[in-house]
Structure 1
Amino acid sequence: MRLGITMFATDQTMPPHELAIAVEERGFSSLYLPEHTHIPTSRLTPSAATLATSGVGASGFLRGTSGDETLSESYARTLDPFVSLAMAASVTSTLTLGTGVALLAQREPIGTAKAVATLQHLSGGRFVLGAGYGWNVEEAADHGVVWHERRALVGERIAAMRALWRDEVAAYKGAHVALSPSWAWPKADVPVLLGGGGGPKLFAAIAAHGDGWLPIGGAGIAEALPRLAAAYEAAGRDPETAVVIPFGSLPTPGKLARFAELGIRETVLRVTSGTRDAVLRELDAHTGFLAS
């Protein structure tokens, strides 16, 4: 099984291009970086259920104006993943580079398609677009996102971006996205993996316009895989083509062995958002799982 790495890269952590070098040197297969453009001080949205055990290891916490929620400071300090991964691409040669995850509801699709295609072109085809819908209502609202429309919005943006990556004359018309017949290069073949909980809405979206699933942590994956396969079959797609990469997992030999039994070919392990010395210690510890 291939093993990758993810870390909340911030202005206080080991720089992501240096992390990429260390990850590749140690034999890991991929590096994924998350995205948050900003964090409104209001904590009206309850923090994601996984935050309490996410292990992001920020130096402090941000208390919102509501006073009853705290959020890891890493969220407000997150570096832009596309800029960071472009730097990582320039200092590596084999490492797969991905977003884990990009918040496409908050991104204008034409410019994002250009950035992704450029990164795919310059990296020699090593980029994977991990995408998600987001959980922070206040953050999305500042981008003009209507919360209950975000899933449909992301689906249309992916469809429009795929047209730009694929077609000599690209065009798209939907309820949320419109693209007049247009020229855009470079063209790119970009895998799109959707992150989130394994529910029917997500699996239908993956079957409709994705290439696979990034299940956070990987808990409950055995029970979810048949439902993902059923969604693919309902969409007329071959379930065997679905890529499934447990994401942000804390490794144990038993967990990785179970993933392998389920046919999982890659797992992305998380490391603490920290200084160079702290991160390298964790990477070195994780190398013990590379032979499993």
Structure 2
Amino acid sequence: MRIATTIFLTDETISPVRLARELEQRGFSGLYLPEHTHIPVSRDTPAPMGEPLSREYGRSLDQFVALGQAAAVTERLAVGSGITLVAQHDPVDLAKRAATLDFLSGGRFTLGIGYGWNVEEAADHGVQWSTRRELVRDRMALMRALWAEEPESYEGEFASVRASLAYPKPVTPPRERAGAGPLTGPRTLIGGMAGPKLFAHIAEYADGWMPIGGGGLAQSLPVLRQAWQDAGREGEGPEVVPCGVLPSEGKLARYRDLGVSEVVLELPAAGEAEVLRTLDEYAQYL
């Protein structure tokens, strides 16, 4: 089972370059970074992780810039977004950034995507909250048209793109889907709470699920795997990558027994000394 990490990197924490080098030297498999463009001061949306909202949420680095630095100073470390708020991006621009990072890293990039929780943040990006899931689905389809090997147009509910020359292409090869075109682009995981709508979207246009923590996996995984089969997806089933995990031997053993192949451990949004101490503690699980 691969052991990766996630952290809110900010202007006050360890740098992406130092962290990436330390992770690779110690044998961790990957680094996933979250995303918030900004946190409106006037906010009615309660934070699902509890109030008051931690300082790092309003100070996080741009995830693609930071992941690019991490990839540039390592050779084996996987890099990923955990997660990218797709509804808050122009899809043509996001397709280019994701493909470029996957290309320059030699196929080490995972695109974790999600729908967000902060209504006010999304509203500043022009997102209508009630349709954000459909918007993400639509934008992912547009991005896959740009990632296709041959120029391919897309006409969706929210956006469209002409058949275009769009390079570089992601390194990750296309994956076949029954009754649909190939799944192009980097490895894609969808974050979110377990539920039939989320699982249907994972089975339709992703490679797997990135739940926060691993609570309830024993009950959720059979439902997700059934949705995967019902959609005509083949292979060993969807990947499941619990993110933001505080580890223990028993917890990691349960994940392994459930068929989880990768776990993402949470690091503190702290300075170099504290983060390195935490890596030393986590090394026992490698």
- Shorter-normalised TM-score: what interval? over 0.9
CA RMSD of aligned residues (A): 1.0
AA of the residue aligned to 1:99: S
1:37 alignment partner, SS class: coil
2:167 alignment partner, SS class: coil
What residue in structure 2 maps to residue 121 of structure 1?
103
CA-CA distance at 1:241 after TM superposition: 3.2
What residue in structure 1 maps to residue 197 of structure 2?
201
Q: Does the aligned pair in 1 maintain the 2:114–2:191 contact within 8 Å? A: yes
Q: How do 1:169-208 residues align onto structure 2 when only pairs under 5 Å count?
A: 169-188=151-170, 189=172, 190-208=186-204
CA-CA distance at 1:239 after TM superposition: 6.4
What residue in structure 1 maps to residue 182 of structure 2?
none
- For 1:105 and 1:167, locate their aligned partners in 2 and report how far apart those are by CA, in whole Å: 25
2:37 alignment partner, SS class: coil
What residue in structure 2 maps to residue 215 of structure 1?
211
Structure 1's unaligned 5+ residue stretches are: 53-68
What residue in structure 1 maps to residue 32 of structure 2?
32
AA of the residue aligned to 1:144: G
CA-CA distance at 1:238 after TM superposition: 2.5
What residue in structure 1 maps to residue 10 of structure 2?
10
AA of the residue aligned to 2:229: E
Q: Does the aligned pair in 1 maintain the 2:228–2:237 contact within 8 Å? A: no
CA-CA distance at 1:167 after TM superposition: 3.3
Match of 2:222 among 200, 214, 226: 226
CA-CA distance at 1:70 after TM superposition: 2.2
CA-CA distance at 1:192 after TM superposition: 0.7
TM-score scaled to structure 2, two decimals? 0.93
The structure-2 alpha-carbon separation of the partners of 1:239 and 1:205, relative to structure 1 and needing over 3 Å to count, comes to: farther
What residue in structure 2 maps to residue 61 of structure 1?
none
| Identical aligned residues as a percent | 53
AA of the residue aligned to 1:229: R
- For 1:144 and 1:23, locate their aligned partners in 2 and report how far apart those are by CA, in whole Å: 37
CA-CA distance at 1:198 after TM superposition: 1.1
CA-CA distance at 1:240 after TM superposition: 1.9
Q: How do 1:133-148 residues align onto structure 2 when only pairs under 5 Å count?
A: 133-148=115-130
Q: How do 1:85-164 residues align onto structure 2 when only pairs under 5 Å count?
A: 85-164=67-146
Structure 1 runs (4+) greater than 3 angstroms displaced: none
- For 1:70 and 1:267, locate their aligned partners in 2 and report how far apart those are by CA, in whole Å: 27
Q: Deviations over 1:122-154 (max 9, x none)?
A: 111100000000000000000000001100010
Match of 2:274 among 268, 271, 278: 278
AA of the residue aligned to 2:117: W
- Number of equivalenced pairs: 272
- For 2:18 and 2:81, locate their aligned partners in 1 and report how far apart those are by CA, in whole Å: 17
Tell me if 1:261 matches 2:243.
Answer: no
- For 1:34 and 1:211, locate their aligned partners in 2 and report how far apart those are by CA, in whole Å: 19
- For 1:239 and 1:260, locate their aligned partners in 2 and report how far apart those are by CA, in whole Å: 19
Q: Does the aligned pair in 2 maintain the 1:229–1:239 contact within 8 Å? A: no
Structure 2's unaligned 5+ residue stretches are: 173-185
What residue in structure 1 maps to residue 60 of structure 2?
78
AA of the residue aligned to 1:82: F
Match of 2:239 among 230, 238, 243: 243
1:193 alignment partner, SS class: strand
Q: Does the aligned pair in 1 maintain the 2:225–2:237 contact within 8 Å? A: no
Q: Does the aligned pair in 2 maintain the 1:17–1:85 contact within 8 Å? A: no
2:209 alignment partner, SS class: strand
